[in-house]
Amino acid sequence: QAVVEDRLDLIQQLKKKYGGSVEAVVATGSRAQEELQQLGSHEERAAEMAARLDEEFRLLHTLAQQLSKKRIDAAKRMMTLMGTELAALKMEQAIFQITVSSDESVEGLGSAGRDRVEFLLSSNPGEPPRPLSRVASGGELSRIMLALKTILVEGDSIPTLVFDEVDAGIGGGVAEEVGRKLKGISDR
């Protein structure tokens, strides 16, 4: 009899604590059992997630390598085309280079890949190419932008371009070529 009374007392305590009915106590027990099973499979889920993360990182690394290769190939083509365009703008002594450097670390990988692209210019013979933003004058920058836009106009959707100082320090044949290039860009 004491065992039965203890059992009934336990049922009453459980009903008070877990919802007021035997059904609520059973439902709470079932939820607790499920949570216990999930906790037991925690290591398995962690291993699955680590494997998935490794797989995703390998894919990301492969895509970043492909993007880097495409950037390097595009930089080579762009340098050749820029040489031709700059020569037409009477900047035939100028050396225009594009460097693509990759950060292979995990921290170096971002939404745009892992590369750092830099435009370099040497406008005087014998000078090594240096960052374009530091060495080009206003007129040179405008002519370089004109050359770039001449090459890239097909894929560009910018409706208005301003070439400030594009005529600085030029005359004669160079001015005529600048005019032709501006006209060509405006046509497209």
Between 140 and 115, residue with greater pLDDT: 115
Decide if pLDDT at 77 tops 90: yes
Tell me which long-range contacts 169-176 makes (C-beta under 8 A, separation of at least 24): 169/139, 170/90, 170/139, 170/143, 173/90, 174/89, 174/90
Decide if pLDDT at 182 tops 70: yes
Q: What is the pLDDT of residue 157?
A: 67
d(CA 6, CA 2): 6
Q: What is the pLDDT of residue 29?
A: 84
Between 176 and 92, residue with greater pLDDT: 92
Q: Each residue of 32-63: pLDDT tens digit?
A: 888 877 776 777 788 888 999 999 989 988 99
Contacts of 169 (CB under 8 A, 6+ apart): 139
Q: How confident is the model at residue 169 (pLDDT cuts 50, 70, 90)?
A: low
**What's the average model confidence in pLDDT over 8-16?**
81
Decide if pLDDT at 83 tops 80: yes
**What's the average model confidence in pLDDT over 95-122?**
89
Other CB atoms within 10 A of residue 80 CB: 11
d(CA 115, CA 133): 19
Query: Average pLDDT, whole number, for the chain?
Result: 83
Decide if pLDDT at 165 tops 70: no
Q: What is the pLDDT of residue 117?
A: 92
Q: What is the pLDDT of residue 116?
A: 92
Q: What is the pLDDT of residue 142?
A: 79
Q: Provide the percentage of residues in the chain whose pLDDT is more than 70.
A: 87
